[in-house]
């Protein structure tokens, strides 16, 4: 399997090269040249435990890694790493819906599923090739701690994680800044997540700087992130088929940067038994507006109870748009330039109000989020975090046929957002021993101005020291 850029200005790459490049050197995102059809394998795949299913899916895309090596990488990522062993992503009924719990990893976020694998991939490739890697990451909350956990203490790797100062939850911040390993560097940017992401892309697009200082990426601009996430869509669909007897299921995905739901889209294209993807956003509704109008138009970032989704520019949207315009890098580049120049782009709808029949989309506000948390707990004695609650709110809005089996893709353990849980339920319910233990830990973080050069200077200074 080879990889090409959505902008079309680099030569096709092998998987390991795509992992190490992260963001395409031409400013685009790397995508596979073709999407394999696995419809004839589903019956066999449905019987596999998670690590074996992950091997079958990922081996189709990581064709330059020897199969025994890849199997070992996957086993080290998923066996004994999640507290839900032998399952990585168990499913829990919540009324007439089903929640896929993706928060059983070391940082209690769905990001662990991909970043445990990505950390092992980095270490494996560096051991083969030599050299060092300096990861530059932007986080709206959970990517940072999961990425840090995936690479802390690893040889040849430094990680620089930018978060918007004061705009992640206090627990999310402490999960990152309490990791004091010598190769971990936290940066608080005076701005929004979109500013952090802009700085990351600015540095990655400076090819001289990127190559001189061996920059890499763990954000979902890295194809391996999206690839790893496709696996749990297969597993979730298989489980829900067994539970309900349905031929296909629907998946509802809260999303801000479009990476998680894009993984579901790739799984569908491969043949996973999923009939529809429901996209759920918070007040920052650029994605839901697009799928209901064909217009992708940014705006001001609204700060909400679901801060990991407080995003206006979704980096993975470019991958979807590339496929939507027929894998045409020229057309894609023109649209992205239009967005850069005007803050807006538009494509034709398949029918009035429908950009893509695969997707349905809706948005929520904070009052809806609190109501969804409260209603789910009162009805089922089951707590969900504010991001998962966005999905429950959208799918429960009355616009969807509730007889269709629905898999609600969760985001994080509710203990990471105790204030929202208490606000919704009136009770102090959201706890986890690992979260509670953070209160007494020392922290380290560098405040830096909202400026790419200031961040670049800090990276260079740190590397040289």
The answer to whether residue 367 is domain-embedded is: yes
The whole-angstrom separation of Cα 198 and Cα 23 is 12
Residue 353 — pLDDT band, cuts 50, 70, 90?
confident
- Please report which residue ranges of 181-297 form alpha helices under DSSP H: 193-205, 207-212, 223-244, 259-270, 286-293
Single out the catalytic residue among 2, 47, 111, 155: 111
For residues 343-361, give the mean pLDDT.
92
pLDDT of residue 169: 86
Which one, of 333, 313, 309, lies nearest residue 321 by Cα?
A: 333
The answer to whether residue 440 is domain-embedded is: no
For residues 141-167, give the mean pLDDT.
92
Q: Which structural domain range is residue 309 located in?
A: 91-107+224-433
Q: Are strands 344-346 and 295-297 parallel, antiparallel or unpaired?
A: antiparallel
Local structure of 250: helix, strand or coil: strand
Residue 402 — pLDDT band, cuts 50, 70, 90?
confident
pTM of the model: 0.94
pLDDT of residue 302: 92
pLDDT of residue 86: 79
The answer to whether residue 254 is domain-embedded is: yes
Dump pLDDT digits (tens) for 410-453. Answer: 999 999 999 999 999 999 999 999 999 998 899 999 999 999 99
pLDDT of residue 352: 85
The answer to whether residue 465 is domain-embedded is: no
The answer to whether residue 41 is domain-embedded is: no
* Helix (H) / strand (E) containing 424: helix 418-425
Dump pLDDT digits (tens) for 68-77. Answer: 999 999 999 9
**Residue 24: pLDDT over 90:** yes
For residues 30-55, give the mean pLDDT.
98
Cβ neighbours for 181, distance < 8 A, ≥ 6 positions apart: 152, 153
* Helix (H) / strand (E) containing 164: strand 157-164
* Helix (H) / strand (E) containing 435: helix 433-436
Domain count, the chain: 1
Mean pLDDT, rounded, of the chain: 95
State in Å, rounded, how far the first CA of the chain is from the last one. Answer: 39
The answer to whether residue 384 is domain-embedded is: yes
The whole-angstrom separation of Cα 408 and Cα 399 is 16
> Is the CB of residue 196 less than 8 Å from the CB of residue 136?
no
The answer to whether residue 350 is domain-embedded is: yes
The answer to whether residue 77 is domain-embedded is: no
The whole-angstrom separation of Cα 295 and Cα 287 is 9
* DSSP per position, 311-338: -SS-TTHHHHHHHHTTS-HHHHHHHHHH
Local structure of 144: helix, strand or coil: helix
pLDDT of residue 140: 82
CATH at residue 285: 3.40.50.1100
Dump pLDDT digits (tens) for 294-337. Answer: 999 988 899 999 998 999 999 999 999 999 999 999 999 999 99
111 in catalytic set = yes
For residues 81-96, give the mean pLDDT.
91
The whole-angstrom separation of Cα 22 and Cα 124 is 16
The whole-angstrom separation of Cα 250 and Cα 268 is 11
The whole-angstrom separation of Cα 169 and Cα 178 is 14
User: Which of 375-380's residues contact partners 24+ apart within 8 Å by CB, and which partners?
Assistant: 376/94, 376/95, 377/424, 377/425, 377/429, 379/94, 379/95, 380/93, 380/94, 380/95
Residue 400 — pLDDT band, cuts 50, 70, 90?
confident
Helix axes 111-129, 67-78, angle to 10 degrees: 140
Dump pLDDT digits (tens) for 267-278. Answer: 999 999 999 999
The whole-angstrom separation of Cα 416 and Cα 132 is 33
């Amino acid at each position: 399997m080879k990889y090409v850029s959505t902008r079309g200005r680099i030569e096709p790459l092998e998987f390991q090269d795509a992992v190490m490049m992260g963001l395409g050197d031409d400013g685009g995102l790397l995508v596979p040249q073709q999407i394999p059809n696995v419809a004839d394998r589903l019956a066999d795949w449905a019987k596999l435990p998670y690590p074996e299913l992950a091997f079958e899916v990922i081996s189709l895309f990581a064709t330059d890694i020897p199969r025994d090596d890849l199997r070992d990488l996957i086993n080290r990522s998923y066996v004994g790493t999640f507290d839900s062993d032998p399952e990585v992503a168990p499913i829990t009924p919540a009324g007439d819906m089903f929640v896929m719990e993706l928060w059983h990893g070391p940082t209690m976020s769905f990001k662990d599923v991909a970043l445990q694998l990505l950390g092992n991939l980095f270490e494996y490739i560096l051991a083969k090739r030599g050299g060092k890697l300096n990861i530059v990451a932007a986080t709206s909350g959970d990517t940072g701690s999961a990425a840090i956990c995936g690479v802390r203490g690893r040889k040849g790797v430094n990680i620089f994680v930018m978060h918007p100062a004061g705009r992640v939850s206090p627990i999310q911040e402490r999960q990152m800044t309490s990791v004091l390993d010598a190769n971990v560097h936290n940066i608080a940017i005076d701005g929004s997540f979109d500013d952090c992401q802009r700085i990351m892309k600015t540095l990655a697009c400076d090819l001289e700087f990127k190559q001189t200082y061996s920059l890499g990426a763990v954000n979902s601009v890295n194809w391996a992130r999206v690839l790893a996430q496709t696996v749990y869509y297969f597993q979730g669909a298989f489980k829900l088929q067994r539970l309900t007897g349905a031929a296909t299921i629907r998946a509802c995905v809260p999303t801000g940067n479009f990476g998680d739901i894009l993984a579901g889209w790739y799984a569908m294209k491969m043949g996973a038994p999923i009939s529809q993807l429901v996209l759920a956003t918070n007040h920052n509704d650029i994605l839901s507006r697009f799928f209901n109008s064909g217009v992708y138009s940014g705006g001001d970032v609204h700060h909400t109870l679901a801060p990991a989704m407080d995003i206006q520019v979704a980096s993975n949207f470019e991958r979807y748009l590339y496929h939507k315009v027929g894998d045409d890098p020229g057309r894609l580049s023109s649209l992205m330039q239009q967005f850069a120049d005007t803050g807006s782009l538009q494509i034709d709808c398949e029918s009035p109000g429908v950009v893509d029949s695969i997707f349905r989309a809706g948005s929520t506000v904070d009052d809806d989020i609190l109501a969804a948390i409260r209603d789910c707990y009162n009805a089922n004695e089951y707590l969900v975090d504010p991001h998962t609650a966005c999905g429950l709110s959208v799918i429960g809005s009355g616009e969807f046929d509730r007889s269709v089996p629905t898999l609600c893709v969760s985001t994080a353990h509710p203990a990471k957002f105790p204030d929202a849980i208490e606000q919704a339920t009136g009770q102090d319910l959201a706890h986890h021993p690992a979260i509670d233990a953070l209160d007494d830990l020392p922290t380290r973080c560098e405040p830096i101005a909202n400026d790419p050069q200031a961040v670049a200077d800090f990276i260079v200074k740190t590397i040289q020291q």
